Each structure stands twice: as structure tokens, then as C-alpha cells.
């Protein structure tokens, strides 16, 4: 057990998880003095009928001020300011965010603007710009992956100036997270697989990276075990509500873990593949996970070895010799990707060259790897990774992940 | 906020002086390394002209300010943060955190990652500055201490380890 000489841990999000928990929303809002919530969601979520499920569950107990489903796949500054103006016009007093990462980010951005009674989010950039509680915000995640329902950041893109702004404050934490399996029951398996692996990566990186602490560790270990035990159940029976609930709960656990200990190079490289080639985040995570473990093996092999227990269970852990556990853990994540590949009829990519868009065109040409490596050097998560990463290191890992070959651990530069 | 009696005011003043001297020297060394070391030069070249940043302890300092002027020349700009326009502020959460950092009681990467560093500015720029600081630390510190301060001690050429090191230290002391 590693106990740092100093650490902070904060999770003040009330979590309401279980079957039929959407119906609790009016009561929760009422307790916070809110009567006229705005629902923020996106087109995909509303077309899947999820917004309707939420509305049906609450409308006889509370009036809904407005339903906004205009959130783009990538949160946008103008959209935030626009939704904030509608919020004010319709005299809303709280927000229910129904969706994945970008909906949550947008809702957090809107909440800053309306709570501070401003009209432009840009007034609140920079550390310490937020000084008081915001309006009530309830998060209803629909993906079981991002963990945004328990994180204190909001990433908003300013597309006009081609940059991403990061807002970080404990005030951005939602007041409550509702984990209701009805929200993920219809999520197709080829999306459920990578999003669950995103959550898995949050937990694993939280456990092996530099900012780990005993409180985040506890959340991470439980999350890994729950995902490992339930991911194939969902693949085999997508309508298994209990397994969906387990994945949703695990994503929240993993979110609590990584927002209190941060993530490392798997996210560093994954963010960059995502921003250069527009690959969905979870897909990048699944592919890069084994490589992030291999690259850091010489620094944190003991921590990786410990992960074999929640990942593979007591029996495998006990029958694997101590010095082989870390490598076995890497192999286990590769095997998981293989099983997910088979369960999704080959849609779940196992390496970067296998990723295709809807028209079956490859999304990550090998010629883009240098650009991805350069982009990675500007990602803040690089500092939380146990081993240093320079341009050549990023390129080496990306090349192996592109080919789908194991990382040659003897080539990893050591200090 | 006032602390309890364990910390005597005298010690706090000493800490302040110690840190001010350290920051002053690191600032000077960054200026020197920008002239002597190719990698540091490259990192600064990638930053916009006129880019100015500070490093110090929140909220009352001490601080150091380093900036790149319109011609791309990197200069140590003193210890005052309120008289210059800053593009980026990097601050340790308190003077105690900064002290831990400069006395190597904890490795820099661990300290950086333990919720102690506030960054106010563009993250990619902050990444450049941290890489520059890593290189400067290798120049200023003996290997066995530098190993605590950075994640991976670099394999440099003999010239970089000897001549460049000498030049960075001389220039920092002499201030040119
Ligand atoms: Fe993620």
C-alpha cells in the first residue's frame, strides 16, 4: 500500500443508483429548492428515446422548464452561451444533464454562466475564477464510461479560436448522479464495449500513476473488478439490467478514482489520437491500455501485478507465480480486447490500423503518427505518468499500437 | 491564513529568503540555458513571442518571472508578478509546498502531480515549461539529486554534460 505524504480526495456527489432511480429526481431537486429544471441532452440521446424516458419518469411530479437537445458531439462555447440564454428566458432554476461527456461538459458550462448571472463563459477561465456554489445540477449518464458525473472538470471547445478550455473547480461537481440501467440498456454492444474499457482505463491509470492515494485506490480496485465481471455479460445479453447497472456503477467508481488521482499516458496518447484522427475516446483507450502498462512496467510493475487480482480473480492470481503477475495482467487486457472484438463481430478494434469509420475507411493512417506524437507532448496528463515520455517514446508506443504488436520492453528508455 | 505556533515566524522568513534565492537562480539559469542548450532553445522557439510566465508559491510568493521578448530573446524578468503581463502563472499551493520541492524532500514529478501545482494558462505551454525546467535542473544539480527531481535522467553527450553545464552555471551566476 502506497501512502503519499500529502494528498487530497473529494467526492461530494450524491449517487443514486439502482433500478427505477430516475423517479427520485423530482425529490432531489425539491430538496435543493428547485422547481423548474432545464433538461440538457443531445440529438443522439433524444433519438434513442432516453430523454423521453427521463421526462416520463419525472413530469407528473415537477414542471420541466425546457428541453435542449442541441449539444454537438464536441462541447462548444457558443452552444453553452446560447443554452444559458434560454435558461434565463424560461426562468429555469436547475439543470438535469442526460448524456455522455460532452453533454455533461456543456451542462457544467451553462451552469457557470447562469449561476454567475453572466452571458459569456469566457469570463470564468483561469484557476480560482469560481468562488461559490452553482445552481443545482443532476447528472444522468447514458454511456457508463466517462465518469463525468463525478468529475470536477469541464472541457469546452472554442471552435472560433481553435482551442479547448479547461474549467476546473469543486463547484463543477454535480449535486447528484443518477445511475439507472434504463439509460444504458439500449446502448449497442459495439459502443458499450469501448466505453466500459474507458472506465477500466480510468481505474487502472488511477491505480498505477503518480498521484494515486489510498482513497482513490479503493474506488479503482472495485471498479476494475466490477467491469471485469460484467462486461462479457452485457456483450452476451445486452438487456441484462443488472450487468448494465454494474457497469454504470463501475464507471462512476472509476470516475471518482481518476478525478482524485488523475490519468497517465494511455489518456495522453488517446486524447491525441482522438483529436488528430477523430477516433472515439473509448476505442483509443481499449487499444492503448496494454501498451500503457508495458511502457511503465519497469517503474510500477508491482502495482500492475496487484491488478491481476481484481481483473482475473482470486484463482488466476493465486496460481500465477509472483514475478509473472504483471505480464499476465497485460495479457489479460489484450485477451479482453480480443473477446470484445469477437463479441462485436469485429467492430471493436484491437489496434490503431484496424479502426475504420462508418464507410469502412481506415481512420488512423500510419502517416499521422508523428503528428499524434507531437500533439501528445502538450497534454497535461503526461506528467502523471510514472515514466517520462518524449516525442520518440510516444512514436514508438504509437507504432506498436498501430501494428498491434507487443511493445518491446527492452526498447523503453530507462533513466 | 495563520498557522499554529509550531512554525515560528523566523523560520518562515528564512524559508522565504532561501526560496527567493533559489527562484532567482533558476530564473537566471533558464535565461542562460535558452542560449546554450539546443533543446531548451527549441522549446522556447515553439512558444509565442512575448510569452511571459511566472513560477512561485501561492498566494504571496516568492515568485520569479521569465519572458521571451518580441525578438525571441529569453530573459529573467525579476520577482514581481504584478508589474508584468503574464501569459501563464504556475504556482505551488503554498510556500511549504515550494520548500519541499526545492529541498528535494520529494521528487518533482510526484510533487507536481499531487494536487500542489496550479496552472493558470494554456496546458500545452505549461508542458513546454515543465520540460525546460527538467533540463535546467539537470544542468544545475549533481546527478544523485537531479535523479530525485526528474523522472528519467537523460543520456546526454559529453559536451552537453560538461561544457554546456559550465556555461549555463557561469552565465546564470554572471547574469549574461
Ligand atoms: Fe477516459
Q: Smallest CA–CA separation between B128 and chain A, in Å?
A: 7
C-alpha of residue A260 to centroid of ligand 1, in Å: 14
Q: How far is the CA of B53 from the centre of ligand 1 (A)?
A: 30
Residue B103 confidence (pLDDT) above 80: no
- Look up residue A211 and give its three cell numbers: 498521484
> What contacts B100, CB < 8 A, 6 or more positions away?
B106, B111
- Listed in sequence order, the residues at least 6 apart from A31 whose beta carbon sits closer than 8 Å to its beta carbon are none
The C-alpha cell that represents A322 in the structure block: 509472483
User: How does strand B63-68 pair with strand B74-76?
Assistant: antiparallel
Element (H, E) at B124: helix B123-140
Per residue in A358-368, is it b (16+ CB within 10 Å) or e — as a string? Answer: eeeeebbeeeb
CATH assignment at residue B160: 3.30.1050
Phi/psi at B52 (5° precision): -130, 135
For the residues of A189-232, what is the DSSP string, one character each? HHHHHHHHHHHHHHHHHHHHSTT--HHHHHHHHHHHHHHHHHHH
CA angle, residues A297, A301, A303, in degrees to nearest 5: 130
- Give residue B10's pLDDT: 67
A126 φ/ψ sector (left φ>0, alpha ψ -120 to 50, else beta): left
- The gap from C-alpha A122 to its chain's centroid, in whole angstroms, comes to 24
Within 8 A of A387 by CB-CB distance, chain B residues are 151-152
Looking at the predicted structure, is the pLDDT value of residue B9 above 70? no
DSSP string computed for A220-263: HHHHHHHHHHHHHHHHH-TT-HHHHHHHHHHHHHHHHHHHTT--
Q: What is the share, in percent, of chain B residues with pLDDT greater than 90?
A: 23
CATH architecture of A189-409: Up-down Bundle (1.20)
Find, in chain A, the residue whose alpha carbon is nearest to that of B93: A127
The helix/strand/coil state of B142 is: coil
Contact A388 B151 (CB under 8 A): yes
C-alpha of B156 from chain center: 21
- Tens of pLDDT, residue by residue over B47-87, are 999 999 999 888 888 999 999 988 889 999 988 888 888 88
Per-residue burial over B16-34, b = 16 or more CB atoms within 10 Å of its CB, e = otherwise: beebbebbbbbbbbbbbbb
B115 touches chain A (CB under 8 A): yes
Three cell numbers written together for B70: 518580441
Q: Counting every residue, how long is chain B?
A: 176
Taking CA A35 as the corner, what is the angle to CA A46 and CA A131, rounded to the nearest 5 degrees? 90
**pLDDT band at residue B43, thresholds of 50, 70 and 90?**
very high
- pLDDT for the residue numbered B1: 45
**Does A210 sit within 8 Å of B110, measured CB to CB?**
yes
Contact B113 A384 (CB under 8 A): yes
Task: Quote the percentage of chain A above a pLDDT of 90.
Answer: 82
> Which has the minimum average pLDDT: B1-10, B46-55, B148-157?
B1-10
Grid cell, residue B94, equals: 503554498
Burial class (CB in 10 A: 0-12, 13-18, 19+), A160: exposed
Nearest-CA distance B123 → chain A (Å): 6
Collect the ranges in chain A with pLDDT lower than 70: 126-127
ipTM of the complex: 0.84
Does a structural domain hold residue B1? Answer: no
Closest Cα to residue A156, out of A79, A213, A234, A209?
A79
Taking an 8 Å Cβ-Cβ cutoff, which residues of chain A contact chain B?
4-8, 126-128, 163, 166, 209-211, 262, 377-380, 382-384, 386-388, 413-415
Residue B6 covered by a domain: no
Residue (of A340, A336, A312) closest to A324 by Cα position: A312
Answer yes or no: is B106 within a domain: yes
Q: Phi and psi for B55 in degrees, rounded to 5?
A: -135, 135
**B153 contacts in chain A (CB < 8 Å):** 415
A210 → chain B, closest CA residue: B110
| Residue B61: domain span | 13-171
Nearest to A127 among B120, B128, B130 (CB): B120
Interface test with A, best of B87, B114, B125, B150 (most A CBs within 10 A): B114
* B114: pLDDT strictly greater than 60: no
Please spell the DSSP secondary structure of A134-160, one letter per residue: -S-EEEEESSSSS-GGG-SEEEEEETT
Q: Which residues pair with B66 in a beta bridge?
A: B53, B76
Taking the Cβ of residue B167 and every Cβ of chain A, the question of whether any pair is shorter than 8 Å is answered with no
The cell numbers describing B29, all together, are 539559469
CA A412 to ligand 1 centroid distance, Å:
24
Band (pLDDT 50/70/90 cuts) for residue B2 is very low
Euclidean distance between CA atoms B7 and B26, whole angstroms: 27
Answer whether A153's CB lies under 8 Å from A107's CB: no
- Buried residues in A215-224 as b, exposed as e (16+ CB within 10 A): bbbebbbbbb
Does the pLDDT at position B128 exceed 60? yes
What is the DSSP pairing of strand A153-158 with strand A14-17?
unpaired
> A216 versus B10: which is more confidently predicted?
A216
* Three-state SS at A267: helix
Lookup: cell for A191: 459502443
- Give the pLDDT of residue A395: 97
Mark yes or no for CB contact B116/A127 under 8 Å: no
User: Chain A residues with CB inside 8 Å of B130's CB?
Assistant: 383
Q: How far is the CA of A202 from the centre of ligand 1 (A)?
A: 6
Give residue for cell 517514446: A393
Predicted confidence at residue B115, as pLDDT, reads 61
pLDDT for position A65: 94
Positions of E strands within B1-134:
52-57, 63-68, 74-76, 88-92, 117-120
Q: Hey, where are the domains in chain A?
A: 14-183, 189-409
- Extract the C-alpha cell encoding A375: 500533439
Rounded to the nearest 10 degrees, the angle between the axes of helix A281-312 and helix A325-343 is 130
Mean pLDDT (chain B, rounded): 83
Q: Are strands A163-168 and A137-141 parallel, antiparallel or unpaired?
A: unpaired
pLDDT at B6: 53
Pairing, β B52-57 against β B63-68 = antiparallel
Residues B30, B66: contact at Cβ < 8 Å?
yes
CA of B63 to the centre of ligand 1 (A): 35
What is chain A's alpha carbon radius of gyration, rounded to the nearest angstrom?
Answer: 21
How many Å apart are CA B52 and CA A241, to the nearest integer? 54
Residue B150: per-residue pLDDT = 84
- DSSP helix/strand/coil, A20: coil
Query: What number does CATH give the domain A14-183?
Result: 3.40.50.1970
- Nearest-angstrom CA–CA distance, A125 and B127: 19
Count of structural domains within chain B: 1
Q: What is the least distance, in Å, from the CA of B127 to any CA of chain A?
A: 6
| Chain A closest-CA separation from residue B132 CA (Å) | 13
CA distance B79 to chain A (A): 21
pLDDT (average), residues B95-109: 75
Inter-chain touch A8–B124, beta carbons under 8 Å: no
Amino acid at each position: 500500500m502506497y501512502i503519499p505524504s500529502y494528498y487530497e480526495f473529494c467526492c461530494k456527489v450524491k449517487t443514486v443508483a439502482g433500478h427505477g432511480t430516475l423517479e427520485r429526481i423530482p425529490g432531489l431537486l425539491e430538496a435543493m429548492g428547485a422547481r423548474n429544471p432545464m433538461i440538457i441532452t443531445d440529438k443522439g440521446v433524444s433519438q434513442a428515446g432516453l430523454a423521453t424516458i427521463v421526462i416520463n419518469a419525472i413530469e407528473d411530479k415537477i414542471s420541466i422548464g425546457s428541453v435542449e437537445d442541441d449539444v454537438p458531439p464536441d462541447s462548444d462555447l457558443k452552444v453553452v452561451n446560447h443554452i444559458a440564454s434560454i435558461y434565463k428566458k424560461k426562468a429555469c432554476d436547475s439543470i438535469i444533464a442526460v448524456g455522455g461527456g460532452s453533454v455533461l461538459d456543456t451542462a457544467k458550462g451553462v451552469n457557470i454562466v447562469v449561476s454567475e448571472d453572466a452571458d459569456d463563459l469566457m469570463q470564468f477561465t483561469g484557476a480560482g475564477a469560481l468562488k461559490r456554489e452553482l445552481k443545482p445540477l443532476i447528472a444522468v449518464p447514458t454511456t457508463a464510461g466517462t465518469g463525468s458525473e463525478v468529475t470536477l472538470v469541464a472541457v469546452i471547445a472554442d471552435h472560433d479560436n481553435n482551442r479547448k478550455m479547461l474549467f476546473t473547480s469543486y463547484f463543477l461537481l454535480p449535486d447528484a448522479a443518477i445511475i439507472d440501467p434504463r439509460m444504458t440498456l439500449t446502448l449497442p454492444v459495439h459502443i458499450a464495449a469501448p466505453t466500459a474499457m474507458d472506465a477500466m482505463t480510468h481505474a487502472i491509470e488511477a491505480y498505477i500513476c503518480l498521484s494515486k492515494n489510498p482513497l482513490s485506490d479503493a474506488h479503482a480496485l472495485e471498479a476494475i473488478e466490477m467491469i471485469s465481471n460484467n462486461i462479457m455479460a452485457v456483450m452476451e445479453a445486452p438487456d441484462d439490467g443488472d450487468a448494465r447497472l454494474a457497469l454504470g456503477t463501475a464507471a462512476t467508481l472509476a470516475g471518482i478514482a481518476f478525478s482524485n488521482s488523475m490519468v497517465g499516458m494511455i489518456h495522453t496518447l488517446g486524447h491525441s489520437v482522438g483529436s488528430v484522427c477523430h477516433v472515439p475516446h473509448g476505442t483509443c483507450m481499449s487499444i492503448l491500455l496494454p501498451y500503457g502498462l508495458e511502457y511503465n512496467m519497469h517503474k510500477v510493475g508491482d502495482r500492475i501485478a496487484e491488478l491481476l487480482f481484481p481483473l482475473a480473480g482470486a484463482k488466476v492470481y493465486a496460481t500465477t507465480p509472483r514475478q509473472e503477475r504483471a505480464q499476465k495482467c497485460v495479457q489479460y487486457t489484450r485477451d479482453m480486447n480480443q473477446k470484445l472484438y469477437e463479441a462485436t463481430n469485429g467492430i471493436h478494434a484491437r489496434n490503431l490500423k484496424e479502426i475504420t469509420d462508418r464507410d469502412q475507411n481506415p481512420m488512423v493512417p500510419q502517416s499521422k503518427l508523428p503528428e499524434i506524437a507531437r500533439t501528445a507532448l502538450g497534454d497535461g496528463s503526461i506528467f502523471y505518468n510514472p515514466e517520462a515520455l518524449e516525442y520518440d517514446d510516444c512514436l514508438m508506443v504509437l507504432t506498436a499500437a498501430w501494428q498491434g504488436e507487443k511493445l518491446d520492453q527492452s526498447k523503453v528508455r530507462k533513466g | 491564513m495563520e498557522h499554529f505556533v509550531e512554525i515560528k515566524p523566523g523560520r518562515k522568513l528564512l524559508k522565504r529568503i532561501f526560496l527567493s534565492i533559489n527562484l532567482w537562480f533558476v530564473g537566471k539559469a533558464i535565461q542562460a540555458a535558452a542560449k546554450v542548450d539546443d533543446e531548451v532553445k527549441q522549446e522556447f522557439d515553439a512558444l509565442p513571442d512575448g510569452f511571459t510566465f511566472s513560477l512561485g508559491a501561492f498566494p504571496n510568493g516568492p515568485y520569479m518571472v521569465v519572458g521571451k521578448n518580441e525578438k525571441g530573446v529569453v530573459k529573467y524578468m525579476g520577482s514581481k508578478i504584478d508589474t508584468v503581463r503574464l501569459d501563464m502563472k504556475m504556482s505551488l499551493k503554498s510556500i511549504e509546498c515550494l520548500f519541499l520541492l526545492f529541498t528535494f524532500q520529494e521528487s518533482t514529478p510526484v510533487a507536481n502531480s499531487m494536487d500542489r501545482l496550479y496552472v493558470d494558462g494554456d496546458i500545452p505551454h505549461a508542458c513546454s515549461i515543465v520540460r525546460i525546467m527538467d533540463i535546467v535542473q539537470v544542468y544545475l544539480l549533481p546527478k544523485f539529486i537531479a535523479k530525485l527531481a526528474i523522472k528519467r535522467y537523460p543520456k546526454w553527450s559529453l559536451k552537453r554534460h560538461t561544457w554546456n553545464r559550465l556555461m549555463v552555471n557561469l552565465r546564470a551566476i554572471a547574469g549574461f
